[in-house]
Structure 1
Amino acid sequence: MRNTRALVMMLIAVVLAGGAVLVAARWINGQAASTAGTGKVAVALVDIALGSRLNPDMVRLVDWPANAMPPGAISDPKLLASRVTRASLQRGEPLMEGKLAPPGTQGGLSAVVAEGKRAMTVRVNDVVGVAGFALPGNFVDVLVNTQEDGPRHAGMKDASISKIVLERILVLAIAQEAGRDETKPKVVNAVTLELSPQQAERLDLARSVGTLSLVLRNQADPDPVRTDGATKASLLDARLAAVLPAAAPARPAAPARPRPQPAVREPGDMVEVMRGTAVSFERY
């Protein structure tokens, strides 16, 4: 009886050992197959700021699965010589063509400006700069507060108008910082915006004729908004409409009742005349 139990236990142990060997063999074969399907990819060895010029100490080549190769990944170190980053890179992040400026680009903010665009700096304060929440990488609208041209209407002493003149403008830098990794608000005295040549002209004119304000907008909202601008008259009309109760509808006037007309007597008519208790008839 005891020998039978020992034989059963030995048989179970042999079966389990065989299963473990089979699983281990499959795992080793899988690792060998995956290793055979790998390639080299350049990744950031340290955190790299936007607009930085790459050097060999910043990148290294690592093995990367061939079936998960990032699009645009760079595997040749020669292609990274003196390249400039157009975006911030975290340690271990693969370097791709989309995040690098074209070869020959100089470092600094000029490498970040998109093709056909211009960088322009405007002076702001803690209010105009959206209390420091307008950070690099955000989009803003630009408002100008100025005086309307042309003759003023009767009774209007103030021709001020506030109007959105530019929409969805990319903030490239605040003060002298272009990093886009920070989320903490930072009050600065200057903001650099990315503009087309036509937008740069409009912004320069708006800056010379009035005061500017920035309006932070949703990152995923690309739709333009057309407004007529806000004037003092429209502002007061809106305030009065919100404060004053709605006027009661006028009631229709009741039709006038005809007044009784006195009887017209013809000459020769008899009229009854009462004097005390005496009654007489007289002719007119």
Structure 2
Amino acid sequence: MNTARILVLAIAGCAGLAALYLASGRDEKPAPAPQVVQLPTVDILVAKTDIGLGQALKPEDLQWQTWPAATASTNFLRRDTNAEAIRDVTGSIARAPFIQGEPIREQKLVKSDGSGFMAAILPSGMRAVSTEISPETGAGGFILPNDRVDVLLSKREKNSDRTGADIVNSEVILTNVRVLAIDQAPKEKDGANALVGKTVTLELKPEQTETLARARQSGVLSLALRSIADVHAPEVKTEDLHNKRGETVNVIRYGVASQATMQK
């Protein structure tokens, strides 16, 4: 057998082995694709944009959004049980803010044909009292509804010896009270909306309304904005504030610091 014939037989054998390998590979079944589990969903009504406290809801503020059925609360408005929910809540007033994408709940709404908005947001036993304040001492115009404030009373008294300037006495008459409203008209300040208020509505207990009513006739009222962390701060009773009179406090007016004594 010559060399050429041996070479041809070798090539043919290799080709046969390759064909046998390829044929055996075709019999193998492809690996199954992973199965995707489809969770049941439901359409619920959510805020399409941020909705502020006291804002009346409009259809363009709302939208339906797909939500996992297992996590959809019974308090949510669902399309399968209330397809006309957008029409039903249109015109209602938000008694608490909604952020974009937050589910709409009727517990946070006041129907336009129901009780007044202010009466609806007041907790049981509390009172809403409006009073004038000094605009230039209203924390720079950045006091908004739901903020917590202290109410200060400032009184100017004549110096008894008639040789010096008038004496200004300031005292805190109410602490950590909630602002329900402050005027109505927003004003642009440094590129952001602020409320420069002359009239404020406060959430007070019945005994606090008496304190505020007396103070309105005695001098000028101003507000001191508190930190948001003070929402659950211990309450200082009115009688405890009265017991602190006689102490010296620092009074800053127009950037000039002075001392004043809280009268007993």
TM range (shorter): 0.5 to 0.7
Relative to structure 1, the CA distance from residue 88 to residue 183 in structure 2 (aligned partners, 3 Å threshold; closer, same or farther) is farther
Conserved? CA contact 2:51–2:61, under 8 Å: yes
Taking the aligned partners of 1:72 and 1:122, their CA distance within structure 2 comes to 37
Residue equivalent to 1:164: 172
Quote the offset at 1:188 in angstroms. 3.0
Pairing 1:44–2:47 present: yes
Runs of 5+ unmatched residues, structure 2? 1-13, 161-165, 251-257, 260-264
Q: For residues 146 and 229 of structure 1, what CA distance do their matches in structure 2 show?
A: 17
TM-aligned CA deviation for residue 65 of structure 1: 0.9
Cα deviation for residue 185 of structure 1 reads 4.8
Equivalent residues in 2 for 1:180-199 (5 A)?
185-199=194-208
Letter in 1 for 2:45: A
Contact 1:146 1:161 in 2 (8 A): yes
Separation in 2, partners of 1:219, 1:95: 25
Residue 211 (structure 1) aligned to one of 216, 220, 227: 220
Q: 1:110 to 1:51 in 2, by over 3 A?
A: farther
- Pair 103,6 (structure 1): closer, same or farther in 2 beyond 3 Å: farther
Pick the structure with greater CA Rg: 1
The partner residue of 2:33 within 22, 33, 47 is 22
In structure 2, what is the equivalent of residue 224 of structure 1?
Answer: 235
In the superposition, the TM-score normalised over structure 2's length comes to: 0.62
Query: What do residues 14-58 of structure 1 show as CA deviations (whole Å, max 9, x unaligned)?
Result: 77xx44x422xx11xx12xx02xx334222244434324446554
Question: Displaced runs of 4+ in structure 1, greater than 6 A?
Answer: none
CA distance in structure 1 between the partners assigned to 2:60 and 2:152 by the alignment: 45
Equivalent residues in 2 for 1:113-152, closer than 5 Å: 113-146=122-155
Aligned-partner Cα distance in 1 for 2:115–2:58:
14
Report the AA paired with residue 119 of structure 1.
A
1:67 counterpart = 2:70: yes
- 160 and 5 in structure 1: CA distance in 2 versus 1, 3 angstrom threshold: farther
Is the Cα–Cα contact under 8 Å of residues 161 and 229 in structure 1 kept in the other structure? no
Does the 8 A contact of 2:134 with 2:220 survive in 1? no
Identity of aligned residues (%): 31
Question: Hey, what's the Cα distance between the residues in 1 that align with 2:73 and 2:120?
Answer: 23
Equivalent residue number for residue 90 of structure 1: 99
Shift of 1:139: 0.2
1:22 is matched by which residue type in structure 2? A
How much does 1:142 deviate? 0.9
Q: Distance in 2 between matches of 1:80 and 1:65?
A: 23
Q: Kindly tell me: are residues 214 and 7 of structure 1, through their superposed partners in 2, closer, same or farther at Cα, counting changes over 3 Å?
A: farther
Tell me, in whole angstroms, the C-alpha distance in 2 between the residues paired with 1:87 and 1:5.
Answer: 76
TM-score normalized with structure 1 length: 0.58
Counterpart residue type for residue 142 of structure 2: F
Aligned to 1:175: 183
Q: Secondary structure at the match of 1:200?
A: helix
Q: Which has the higher strand share?
A: 2
RMSD, matched Cα: 4.2
Contact persistence 1:53–1:84 (CA under 8 A): yes
Equivalent position amino acid for 1:135 in 2: L
Spell out the pairing of 1:267-278 with structure 2 (5 A cutoff): none
User: Following the alignment from structure 1 to structure 2, what is the Cα–Cα distance between the partners of residues 59 and 234?
Assistant: 54
How many residues align? The count is 215
For structure 1, the 5+ residue unaligned runs are 153-157, 241-284
Question: For the residues of structure 2 that align with 1:6 and 1:143, how far apart are their CA atoms?
Answer: 97
